A and B are shown apart, each in its own frame.
Chain A
Amino acid sequence: MQADVKSVTKLKTFDFQPVASILLLALAISVGYLLNNSGYKILAFSLLMGLGLGYAFQRSRFCLGAAFRDFILFRSSELLQSTVLLLILSSLGFIVLFFYYVFNNSSLPLSILPFGMHTAVGATLFGVGMVLAASCASGMLMRLGEGYVQQYGTLLGFLVGSIIGAWNQNFWQPIICQSPAIFLPTQLGWPLALAVHLGPLLFLYLYLRRLSSTSWKYTGFTPIRKIYSEAWSYQTGAIVIAVLSTVLYYGRGSYFAVTTGITYWGTWAFTQLGGSVADWAYYQLPRHLNALNVGFFLTMESMLNFGFIFGALISSLAASEARLRKVRSLKHFTVSVAGGLLMGYGARLALGCNIGAFLSSIASFSVSGWVFALFSFLGAWLGIKLFLRIFNLK
Chain B
Amino acid sequence: MGEYKLDVLGEMCPLPILRSDKLFKTLSPGDRLVVVTDHSCAMKGIPLHFKKLQAETQICLVAKGIWEIIIEKKS
A-to-B contact residues, CB < 8 Å: 2, 4-11, 15, 17, 58, 61, 63, 66, 69-70, 73-74, 76, 78, 134-135, 143, 146-148, 150, 213-214, 231, 316, 320-323, 325-329, 332, 387-388, 391, 393-394
Contacts and interface: CB of A to CB of B under 8 A. Distances in A.
A214 to B, nearest CB: 7
Contacts of A63: 13, 41
Contacts of B22: 393
B59 A316 contact: no
Contact of A73 (B14, B52, B59, B64): B14
B41 A61 contact: yes
Contacts of B10: 150, 325-329, 332
B62 A9 contact: yes
Interface residues of B, number: 34
Contacts of B52: 76, 213
Given A63-B41, A76-B49, A231-B44, A9 B60 contact: yes
A214 B59 contact: no
B28 interface: no
A322 B61 contact: no
Interface of B: 9-15, 17-19, 22, 38-41, 43-45, 47-49, 51-52, 56-66
Contacts of B49: 74, 76
19 contacts: A4-B57, A6-B56, A8-B60, A10-B61, A15-B64, A63-B41, A70-B14, A213-B51, A213-B52, A316-B40, A320-B64, A323-B64, A325-B10, A325-B38, A326-B9, A327-B10, A332-B12, A387-B14, A391-B15
Contacts of B14: 66, 69-70, 73-74, 134, 387
A176 B19 CA distance: 42
Nearest to B38: A325
Nearest to B55: A4
